Amino acid sequence: MGISTHILDTTLGRPARDVTVRLEQLLASGAKELVKGVTDADGRVKPLLEAIPAAGTYRLHFEVAPYFARLGVEAFYPSVVIDFVVKAAHEHYHVPLLLNPYGYSTYRGS
């Protein structure tokens, strides 16, 4: 259970390593950082949150500008922010990021 993510660089067809990822919970009083990590050689920060998350809205913040700078690639998005809702706290939430220098997509994985 919990929340996890991974990043695939779709231009290179391989995981994006050494990308800083923050997980925040969005509260009425603002965003509360829960954990921060860096993707490994498999593009994963595992797990971001092992504990069963409370129902609510969460945010993944991917700092992708340094990743593209290391590759010597100009990129349009310096960061990617994904907000998502946890309704069933007992379920696992996997939120992958498919990334390229000029676009990205995401989905709820398993």
Q: Per-domain residue ranges for the chain?
A: 2-106
Residue 9 has pLDDT above 90, yes or no: yes
Q: What is the pLDDT of residue 87?
A: 92
pLDDT single digits (tens) 46-104:
778 877 778 999 999 999 999 999 999 999 999 999 999 999 888 889 999 999 999 99
Q: Which residue has the tokens 């595992």?
A: 46
Residue 28 CB contacts under 8 Å (≥ 6 apart), including other chains: none
Which architecture characterizes domain 2-106 according to CATH?
A: Sandwich (2.60)
**pLDDT of residue 31 exceeding 80:** yes
Tokens 């994904």 — which residue? 82
CA dist 97 and 34 (Å) reads: 19
